[in-house]
Amino acid sequence: MTKPALDVQYTTAQLNGSTDITDPTTVLAIAFLLSKTDDFTTTTRINIPFDYGNVSKLVLGLEDNQVYFFELQVIYIGGEVEKGGVLSFQTLVISTGGLETRPHVMTFVIPGAPGGQDPDTGYPLPDDPGQSIEVPCRFHLASNGAMKTFKNEDSTIINQVGTIRVDAGQTIPEVNMIVNVEGHFKGPVRAIYRGQLSHRIEV
* pLDDT tens per residue across span 92-116: 344 434 445 678 999 999 988 787 7
Domain containing residue 145? 104-202
Per-residue pLDDT band for 185 (boundaries 50, 70, 90) equals very high
| Residues 198, 174 share a domain | yes
pTM: 0.51
| Residues 193, 111 share a domain | yes
| Residues 139, 71 share a domain | no
* pLDDT tens per residue across span 45-66: 777 655 555 555 556 666 655 6
Say what the alpha-carbon torsion angle 186, 191, 194, 197 is, to the nearest 10 degrees: -40
6 phi, psi to nearest 5 deg: -95, 105
**Tell me, what's the pLDDT at 60?**
64
Instruction: Using the 3D structure, point to which of 66, 95, 124 is the last residue of a domain.
Output: 95
Per-residue CA distances from 33 to 45, 46, 88, 161, 200 (Å): 5, 6, 15, 27, 20
- Please provide the average confidence, as pLDDT, over all residues in the chain: 72
Higher pLDDT, 140 or 78: 140
Spatial neighbors of 18 by CB under 8 A, at least 6 apart, are 55, 88, 91
